[in-house]
Amino acid sequence: MNREEKKLETKNRILEAAMCLFAEQGFESTTVAQITEAAGVAKGTFFNYFKTKEDVRGKLNKLVAIDEIVNLKDKPGPYAPRFLALVKTLGDAMAENHGMLLLSIQGMLANNQNMEESKEGFCLIMDNLIPVFEKGQQTGEFTTTIPATTMACIATQIYLGTMLNWVMGISKEGFGDQLLISFQVFFEGILKK
């Protein structure tokens, strides 16, 4: 195993340990020390990969979103109702901790390395959304006048904008409700008439 593969294995062990602990005892009750002990790494090793426990949760949320999108593209349409249910569920789950979302946004923009990592994560989400929109176009659910790549890009922009809007307190609805409303408007624009 080369150095990059070892680093990826270590990062994945930390993520898996954190996911198990968050599920067992909750996010707030889990400490970095518990995560490192469960992952079998030193505390300093944790900080080579993540700045905070919140960073770990943010990464896990992205991985869950990607898994759910992959599952969505493997199912038959219609896709709009399934996608709306997905964003509502993910938004409700993420809204449990307003401060974590604020830290997530701050972390994304803190420096060039963080912005590049965030960009890679959102590009991965877009890459997995494109086949969903393509399948919807093939089945006649979505318009073919807008490329699937553009739809995926706009969906990502809507998510990021809605997250920022919610964190800033511009709207009083819950994060899941705001995502649902935003994506309902989006789908009105791309559904085949």
Give me the domains of the chain, ranges plus CATH numbers: 1-50 (1.10.10.60), 51-190 (1.10.357.10)
Q: What is the pLDDT of residue 81?
A: 93
CA dist list (Å): 52 to 30, 44, 76, 150, 178: 12, 12, 39, 34, 27
Q: What is the pLDDT of residue 154?
A: 96
Q: Over range 163-180, report the average pLDDT.
A: 88
Q: Over range 48-62, report the average pLDDT.
A: 80
Q: Over range 162-176, report the average pLDDT.
A: 86
With a cut of 90, say whether residue 57 has pLDDT above it: no
Q: What percent of the chain has pLDDT over 90?
A: 36
With a cut of 80, say whether residue 62 has pLDDT above it: no
Q: What is the pLDDT of residue 100?
A: 65
Q: What is the pLDDT of residue 79?
A: 92
Q: What is the pLDDT of residue 39?
A: 92
The three-state (H, E, C) secondary structure of 4-41, written as one string:
HHHHHHHHHHHHHHHHHHHHHHCCCCCCHHHHHHHHCC
With a cut of 80, say whether residue 23 has pLDDT above it: no
Burial class (CB in 10 A: 0-12, 13-18, 19+), 74: exposed
With a cut of 90, say whether residue 28 has pLDDT above it: no
How confident is the model over 93-115, as pLDDT tens digits? 777 667 767 767 777 787 787 78
Q: What is the mean pLDDT of the chain?
A: 86
Query: What distance in Å separates the CA atoms of residue 159 and residue 112, rounded to the nearest whole number?
Result: 21
With a cut of 90, say whether residue 177 has pLDDT above it: yes
How confident is the model over 147-167, as pLDDT tens digits? 999 999 999 999 999 988 888
More confident residue, 189 or 22: 189
Query: What distance in Å separates the CA atoms of residue 106 and residue 100, rounded to the nearest whole number?
Result: 10
191 SS3 class: strand
